[in-house]
A and B are shown apart, each in its own frame.
Chain A
């Protein structure tokens, strides 16, 4: 069964304190791994798509990487505005739906 597990559930950082979020997945034939950001009361906002092991994508202070079993979202020198819930998802086998993890809630204090 396709599954996505994210850790930690919650993460508190000081401004400037770099860290990584983990997303481990089980899927038959990865068709794509997706990272989203969600702010309270809003829908998920697309960040990155990764398709193959070794691939990396960057956007501002965020960098996503992918291995055969997991993905990391690295946050470099975070700012308070990076506080949000970060969601990881993979496409199902049929390619018709995203399977989400529960997310990691990041809080960055100044």
Chain B
């Protein structure tokens, strides 16, 4: 069974540019989560989808971040325009059961 897949694995962009991260969850997992780890800090929640609906987006830093989940399958996280403080590792996770989430390898974003 394929795991959670994220791409790109690395992205280096200039301040003010746009970046789109993609996540393919494990097939059949209705729950999809985005998390972020900024250097030196703990992994922090960004948002949670149940199928195509946003269940909780309380962790999204500001309106420069936009997440979508097309047809309840893959998800994208767009940052526009990117700022220096957006640098970090962005993780996607999916689950069938609350909490027992399976994580992707992450996308390292450098702004």
Which of B12-20, B39-47, B72-80 is found at the contact surface with chain A?
Answer: B39-47
Partner of A41, one of B35, B41, B42, B105: B105
A97 is contacted by which of B56, B91, B106 (Cβ under 8 Å)? B56
Task: State whether the Cβ of B48 lies closer than 8 Å to any Cβ in chain A.
Answer: yes
Partner of A32, one of B35, B59, B98: B98
Q: Are B43 and A44 closer than 8 Å at their CB atoms?
A: yes
- With an 8 Å Cβ cutoff, the count of chain A residues facing the other chain is 26
B27 at the binding interface (Cβ < 8 Å): no
Contact between A44 and B91, CB atoms less than 8 A apart: yes
Bound Cα distance A96, B30 (Å): 13
**B11 interface hit (Cβ, 8 Å):** no
Whether the pair A49, B99 counts as a contact (CB closer than 8 A) is yes
Whether A43 and B33, one on each chain, are in contact in the complex, defined by CB atoms closer than 8 angstroms, is no
Give the distance in Å from the alpha carbon of A89 to the alpha carbon of B100 in the complex: 11
B interface residues, tally (CB under 8 Å): 24
Per-position binary interface string of chain A over residues 73-110, scored 1 when its CB falls under 8 Å from any chain B CB and 0 otherwise: 00000000000000101011011111111110000000
Per the bound structure, the CA–CA distance linking A41 and B103 in Å amounts to 12
Q: How far is the CA of A106 from the CA of B58 in the complex (A)?
A: 32
Flag whether A17 is at the interface (Cβ < 8 A): no
> Is B111 part of the binding interface, using a Cβ–Cβ cutoff of 8 Å?
no
Q: 11 A-B pairs, CB-CB below 8 angstroms? A: A42-B105, A44-B91, A44-B93, A45-B103, A49-B100, A89-B99, A94-B56, A95-B98, A96-B55, A97-B59, A103-B42
Known pairs A100-B43, A103-B42. 16 more at Cβ < 8 A? A31-B98, A34-B99, A41-B105, A43-B103, A46-B102, A89-B99, A91-B98, A92-B45, A96-B55, A97-B56, A97-B58, A98-B33, A98-B35, A98-B99, A99-B45, A100-B42
- A residues near B (Cβ < 8 Å) are 4, 31-32, 34, 36, 41-46, 49, 87, 89, 91-92, 94-103
